[in-house]
Amino acid sequence: MRIHTINLAAALAIAVAMPASAEQAPEQPAAVPNEGTYMPSNPIRSGPTPFDHAAREQQVASGNQRIEPLAPEEFTPEAQAIADSLTAFFGSKEEGVPKSYATMFKHPGLYKGQLQLGLELNQNGALSPREREMVILRVAWLVRSPFEWGEHVTYGKTLGLTSEEIERITQGSSAPGWSEHDRAVLRGVEELLGDYAVSDETWATLAKTWDEKQLIELPGLVGSYTLTAMLYNSLRFGLLPGNDGFDAR
C-alpha cells in the first residue's frame, strides 16, 4: 500500500510538472531584435524573376476596366485642360481622349498631382533619359505592369537603349554585361522595391558619378512609376495599339 501511495504521488507530481498536450504547452515569447539591429523587410529581387506573362496580362491589362471612363461631355474644365496638355505632350494612340485619361478624371486632383510629378521628372529630371528609362523599365518588370513595360520599351529604344539591354533589364543587376554604374542603377531600383531604401554600397557606387540632385531623384522616380503601375494594374486598363506588353523588346 505504501509503494502504491508513493507511485501515485510521483505520477501526480509528473502530471503537474508536464503539460498534458502540445496545445497546453506555454507559449514562448517571440525573439525581439536588439536595439539597432537591422532587419530587412521584403526580399530584394536582383536576378531573373520568371512569371506567367499571359496570365498576368489577363489579370491586370485585360481592358475590362473596374471603373468606367467619363464621357467627354462629363469632363470638368480642369479635366479638359489636363486632356489637352497631355495630348499635346504625348500624342495619342486612341481615337479621342484615351480611356486611361477619362477614367482618372474621376479623381482629377490625384491625376493632376501624378502627372505634375511625372512631367517634372521627364522634362526637368536630373537623370539622363537613358538612365531614367532603365529605372522605369526595371520598376515595370518587378511590379509586373505590362502596360508600363510595353510603353517604356518604345520610349527607351528612342532614348538609347538597345533590345539586348532591355532584355538584360528583365534579368536585373546581377546579369552580366552591365557597367559598374548601370548595375548600381538597377540595384538601386531593386533595393527600393525590396527594402524601401538604397544600401550604403549602392549609394556609394552611384555617388561616384551622380551628384546630390540625381541621388535624390532615384527614389522619387521609382516611387512615381510604382504609383503609376499600381493604378494601371488595379484599374485594368488594356494595352494600347503597338504595346506588346511583356513581350516587347
2-37 pLDDT per residue, tens: 444 434 344 334 333 444 444 444 555 555 556 555
Query: Helices 200-207 and 212-235, interaxial angle, to 10°?
Result: 120
The CATH number of whichever domain residue 206 belongs to comes to 1.20.1290.10
- Torsions phi, psi of 188, nearest 5? -60, -40
Domain containing residue 101: 59-247
Closest among 109, 107, 158 to 132, alpha carbons compared:
158
CA quadruple 82, 66, 61, 140: dihedral positive or negative?
positive
- This prediction's pTM: 0.82
Residue 101 lies in a domain: yes
Contact 135, 104 (CB under 8 A): no
Residues in the chain, how many?
249
What's the rounded Cα separation, in Å, for the pair 153 and 161?
8
Q: For the chain, what is the domain count?
A: 1
Can you give the pLDDT at residue 32?
53
Residue 115 lies in a domain: yes
178-199 pLDDT per residue, tens: 999 999 999 999 999 999 999 9
Closest among 224, 63, 199 to 143, alpha carbons compared:
224
Residue 213 lies in a domain: yes
